[in-house]
Amino acid sequence: MVSTTTQRPTEVEKYRCGPYNRFAQGPGLELVHFPFAGFSRRMTTLEAVAVVQWSAFQTVEEAVDRTVSQIPSISVDALNALFCELKDRGALVSFSQLTVPPTPLQPPPTSKIEFLAIPTTGRTGCLERSMRSYLQGAREHDRKCAIFVGDDSLDSAASNGCRQMPASISPDWPGAIFYADVKAKQTFAELLSDAGRIPRGPIDYMLKGSEHSDRHPGANRNAILLHTLGSMALSVDDDTLCNVGTVPNYVGGTDISIGGHDHPEELWCFSDHAASRAFPVPDNLDVLAAHEALLGPGRSSTIPFCPTHRWIF
């Protein structure tokens, strides 16, 4: 006697269902969209339930057997054909995809940081101290880039101090220095609105912040992003110095771990400032080169990441 049942191939790879969206298509029918795979599949509601319940890594054969044991009325052959189609079209996530070792990050051959961005709020002393520190780092490693200072201060005297201070550094800095205070951002908002025919409301909120608050750190950084648009940039706070150290017992490496349940940073507390300064081991690191290696060779794939085992103070 010859069986009419389709012979299922033996699978050794394990899969589970990837991201999906379900839409009703009529009595007993659904449209299931798989955004990662970039396609949609019309199927019965029973088949849709079988697909979305495939949440543990199993072979196609195991997944079919499990589903049939839970939904006896479903067709084994139709379900097997559906699962194989989803596998072939990339709607399933394979276990091997999650276990591929990461490729070590290498410094990009051509991409360079073009802007060092520093947000401030009229803190002239901090800004000067920080800029001179990064100037020293640029000299030591023969680096050249522009500086953009975004000033969020509403105090005219404080803004004047920040506006005039870069002039004393400009002759020594190996690149252009740009400064934008609240008034400059307002002018830019007007030009952007007129040139792009964009309503002023969203632009004002983006570059000036809420009228109900005196501090607008997000708006200040939005101005930095617009000014450096299309360029690789490193943003540092005005209270940081380009003095880099490695924490004791640090084992070097470039692997990046991804997690969503625990805080990724390690924290240390010190009795005073002197103790904190004595803790790291001095490291003559090219800060710009380190971030270039992490950002990668292309401007379209940036990683907002700072090495947690190095610190800038």
pLDDT in tens, 28-63: 999 999 988 888 999 999 999 999 999 889 999 999
64 within 8 A of 70, measured Cβ to Cβ = no
Beta bridge partners of 41: 32
What's the pLDDT at 120? 93
Give the highest mean pLDDT range of 99-113, 206-220, 227-241.
227-241
Q: Over the stretch 66-104, which tens digit does the pLDDT of each residue have? A: 999 998 899 999 999 999 999 999 999 888 887 766 666
The per-residue pLDDT for 255 is: 57
Structure-token match 């909120």, residue found: 205
- Cα separation, 313 vs 302, in Å, equals 24
Helix (H, G, I), strand (E, B) or coil at 25: strand
* Mean pLDDT for the chain overall: 82
Fold of 15-98: Outer Surface Protein A; domain 3 (3.90.930)
Task: Kindly report the length of the chain.
Answer: 313
Residue 295 in this model has a pLDDT that exceeds 90: no
pLDDT (0 to 100) of residue 10:
47
Residue 240 has pLDDT above 80, yes or no: yes
Strand partners, 15: 58, 94
How buried is residue 246: exposed, middle or buried, by Cβ count under 10 Å (0-12/13-18/19+)? Answer: middle
CA neighbor of 129 nearest in space, from 284, 236, 247? 236
Parallel, antiparallel, or unpaired for β 92-94 and 177-180?
unpaired
Tracing tokens 């803790």 back to the chain, one arrives at 279
For the cut 70, the answer to whether the pLDDT of residue 115 exceeds it is yes
Tens digits of per-residue pLDDT, 243-273?
888 888 776 655 566 665 666 677 888 999 8
| 1-17: average pLDDT | 61
Residue 39: the pLDDT is 86
Domain positions in the chain are 15-98, 115-312
Whether 133 shows a pLDDT value over 80: the answer reads yes
Residue 26, Cβ neighbours under 10 Å: how many? 9
Q: How far apart are CA 169 and CA 22, in angstroms?
A: 59
For 145-158, b/e burial (b = at least 16 CB within 10 A) is bbbbbbbbbeeeeb
Q: What does pTM read for this prediction? A: 0.58
Q: Which residues pair with 43 in a beta bridge?
A: 30
